[in-house]
Amino acid sequence: MSLVQQLLKKGVIDKEKATSLEFEVKSSGKKEEEVILDEKIVNEKFLFDLKSENLKIPLKEIDVEEIPLAVLELIPEESARYYMMIPLARTDNFLEVGMVYPEDLASQEALKFLARQSKFSYKVFLITLTTLEKLWRKYRTLKGEVTKALEELKTELEVEKITGEPMKLAELERVVEEAPITKIVAVMIKHAVDEKASDIHIEPLREKSRIRFRVDGILHSSLFLPLRIHPSVVARVKILSDMRLDEMRVPQDGRFSTKIGGKNIDFRVSTYPTTLGEKVAIRILDPSEGLKDVEKLGLVGRNLKVVQEALTKTYGLIFITGPTGCGKTTTLYAMLSKLNKEAVNILTIEDPVEYFLEGVNQSQIRPDIGYDFASGMRHMVRQDPDIIMVGEVRDPDTAALAIHATLTGHVVLSTLHTTNAIGVIPRLIEMGVAPYLIPPTINIALAQRLVRLLCVECKKKVSPRKEIKDMIFKEIDSLPPVSKKNISIPKPFVIYEAKGCKKCNNQGFSGRIGIFEVLNMTDELADIVIKELSEAKIRVEAHRQGMISMKQDGIFKVLNGITSIEEILRVAEEK
């Protein structure tokens, strides 16, 4: 009996819906399971429990992280993907195999062939699509390279394993230079770059070493290594980064560069001592990912126009604000690239220098020798600059110097930590900047967050739930009049949600884009700042000049199919 007929029998759907689903299966070429789950008739667990009962094959719930990497290699990845099956466990010559479609005759024959070729017996278990997708991610990340390197390394670590004592420095140096450790680190870095990760985390746990990649802002486990080789992996990264190998008690910072896939990529490295050993964080600075044009950041409409106008002015402050990891540095570099011409002298002081820009004089602060943002700025103004970029305004001294540099005819770009664009003005006043100095110096204050982009290959049209639809229309109603003219509401009213396919590694998302709010200095805003400053009055003026909130900018991107409403609700703060 088909799954549709089983749902009909159990009273989950009526006859009309059953007929509709059966037609969809035939006309679309999709599997029954996909059609039912797409319609959100039942959840995945309910559906696969039903299928398990029907096929008399046990449904196996799996902790993906506990499956050994060596087991995954027992069935070639290409076969696993094509036939929707994957190895789960092995004891002697007996293999447990998870299948999404065990009823499929071609998959059954393929499994029999693989069993004959590799001489193993097997038992089939039913697994869900979600479980299979998680295991595919593990497959793709490793490709067996790390497993092979670990096998080669086993003999090197026998002494440590027997004695239970940590390796001495001389022995550690020897093991680190062995080919397997070098290969493990190289493979880890290459896969992180291939996955377009922004960061790699190497962390000691109680029983193993965990490697996590941050992709599109989300951390996920990519690999687990034996705990005994953790010091060797950390040491290899330290050697690459020119850090002290024998110093494990205090944090260290370093940097290295290498060529991957024909591109020169920089890596910024930080170590951190924990109770279980040293943790390493590696920031991947890929110029092709991190250096963008202003027009490709996600600025559109009024936001883009205001920013472009600000970049044509010969003096004034541009502040970019938001929490750590929201893309402020990327926006700063995009603006610098726009301003970078032979006729101007650009100086920066950063913490640290992330990307190197040809023709821009970049400097990194060194607080340990008294070279901070404030002292750096005092020296910058003696270098005949036209444009100054300060990594962050953190204290009253730097704020005063930025204001002074603007008053003396310079363009100054910097960042602040505030929750929104309106908060920039009160924050500067808190730092001791006189209110009357703010209107003649600030050009724009731009706040931003990053949201994940829906995969263009598999994003799915849906009719939103009533509460989501009401929330979207509420935000549209509260838009400034000038912005309402530019909004296009689809009829019938649909939005898009994430699905997942091979192209996006079954995530449903690929890449990130900014959502913004841009506050422009106007005569009306200047009066408010000087005469009767209040955030409420600034907000009224911002609305009058056409400023939209980050959430509203996100709604525009939802209606245009760029991202999902869940992403906007996850990232954008309520106003």
Q: Looking at residues 327-349, what average pLDDT do you find?
A: 94
**Per-residue pLDDT tens digits for 417-450:** 999 999 999 999 999 999 999 999 999 999 999 9
132, 154, 181: which is the final residue of a domain? 132
The 10 Å Cβ neighbour count of residue 300 is: 16
The span from the CA of 376 to the CA of 380, in Å, is 6
CA distances to 130, 186, 385 from 440, rounded to whole Å, are: 56, 52, 20
278 and 299 within one domain = no
Please check whether residue 138 lies inside any domain of the structure. Answer: no
pLDDT tops 60 at residue 165? no
In this prediction, residue 575 carries a pLDDT of 41
CA distances to 527, 532, 533, 559 from 537, rounded to whole Å, are: 10, 8, 7, 30
Q: Looking at residues 172-197, what average pLDDT do you find?
A: 74
In this prediction, residue 514 carries a pLDDT of 95
**Per-residue pLDDT tens digits for 467-501:** 999 999 999 999 998 888 778 787 888 999 998 87
286, 307, 327: which is the final residue of a domain? 286
- Counting other chains too, the contacts that 14-18 makes at CB distance below 8 Å and 24 or more residues apart are 17/41
H-state helical runs in 314-433: 328-339, 373-380, 396-407, 424-430
What is the domain extent for residue 565?
291-571
465 and 317 within one domain = yes
Q: What CATH number is associated with residue 377? A: 3.40.50.300
504 and 407 within one domain = yes
In this prediction, residue 144 carries a pLDDT of 53
In this prediction, residue 170 carries a pLDDT of 59
357 and 261 within one domain = no
In which band, very low, low, confident or very high, does the pLDDT at 518 lie, cut at 50, 70 and 90? Answer: very high
461 and 321 within one domain = yes
The span from the CA of 373 to the CA of 355, in Å, is 18
In this prediction, residue 139 carries a pLDDT of 61
* Residue 433: DSSP 8-state: -
In this prediction, residue 178 carries a pLDDT of 55
In this prediction, residue 174 carries a pLDDT of 55
94, 110, 132: which is the final residue of a domain? 132
In this prediction, residue 69 carries a pLDDT of 59
Helix 179-194 crosses helix 230-240 at what angle (to 10 degrees)? 70
Percent of the chain scoring above 90 in pLDDT? 45
CA distances to 313, 362, 363 from 387, rounded to whole Å, are: 11, 12, 14
The 10 Å Cβ neighbour count of residue 461 is: 11
151 and 82 within one domain = no
Q: Comparing 353 with 445, which gets the higher pLDDT?
A: 445
**Per-residue pLDDT tens digits for 102-131:** 898 888 888 888 888 878 888 899 999 888
In this prediction, residue 159 carries a pLDDT of 35
Residue with token string 């200047």: 526
Please check whether residue 314 lies inside any domain of the structure. Answer: yes
In this prediction, residue 168 carries a pLDDT of 57
In this prediction, residue 160 carries a pLDDT of 39
421 and 313 within one domain = yes
320 and 430 within one domain = yes
**Per-residue pLDDT tens digits for 19-38:** 888 888 888 878 888 888 88
Q: What angle is formed at CA 542 by the lines to CA 474 and CA 480, rounded to 5 degrees?
A: 35
467 and 386 within one domain = yes
In this prediction, residue 150 carries a pLDDT of 55
Query: Which of 414, 355, 427 has its CA nearest to residue 380?
Result: 414
Q: What CATH number is associated with residue 42? A: 3.30.300.160
**Per-residue pLDDT tens digits for 137-152:** 666 555 455 655 555 5
Q: Which of 168-172, 446-450, 498-502, 523-527 has the lowest mean pLDDT?
A: 168-172
Question: What is the count of structural domains for the chain?
Answer: 3
Answer for the pair 225, 244: CB distance below 8 angstroms, yes or no: no
Please check whether residue 215 lies inside any domain of the structure. Answer: yes
pLDDT tops 90 at residue 522? yes
In this prediction, residue 70 carries a pLDDT of 63
Q: Looking at residues 372-386, what average pLDDT do you find?
A: 91
In this prediction, residue 193 carries a pLDDT of 86
CA distances to 249, 321, 484 from 325, rounded to whole Å, are: 27, 11, 31
Answer for the pair 284, 198: CB distance below 8 angstroms, yes or no: yes
Please check whether residue 359 lies inside any domain of the structure. Answer: yes
Please check whether residue 137 lies inside any domain of the structure. Answer: no
Please check whether residue 242 lies inside any domain of the structure. Answer: yes
Please check whether residue 450 lies inside any domain of the structure. Answer: yes
125 and 81 within one domain = yes
Exposure string for 335-354, b = 16+ CB within 10 A, e = fewer: bbbebeeeeeebbbbbbebb
DSSP 240-296: HTT--TT--SS-EEEEEEEEETTEEEEEEEEEEEETTEEEEEEEEE-HHHH---GGG
Q: Looking at residues 403-416, what average pLDDT do you find?
A: 95
Q: Looking at residues 48-55, what average pLDDT do you find?
A: 89
In this prediction, residue 149 carries a pLDDT of 58
In this prediction, residue 547 carries a pLDDT of 94
**Per-residue pLDDT tens digits for 290-314:** 788 999 999 999 999 999 999 999 9
User: Tokens in use for 22?
Assistant: 């059966």
73 and 209 within one domain = no
Query: Which of 187, 189, 159 has its CA nearest to residue 174?
Result: 159
Helix 466-477 crosses helix 550-559 at what angle (to 10 degrees)? 120
Q: Looking at residues 163-187, what average pLDDT do you find?
A: 62
pLDDT tops 50 at residue 574? no
In this prediction, residue 173 carries a pLDDT of 54
Q: What CATH number is associated with residue 186? A: 3.30.450.90
Answer for the pair 391, 351: CB distance below 8 angstroms, yes or no: yes
The span from the CA of 533 to the CA of 538, in Å, is 8
The span from the CA of 506 to the CA of 84, in Å, is 13
Query: Which of 177, 191, 100, 102 has its CA nearest to residue 145?
Result: 191
Please check whether residue 404 lies inside any domain of the structure. Answer: yes
328 and 254 within one domain = no
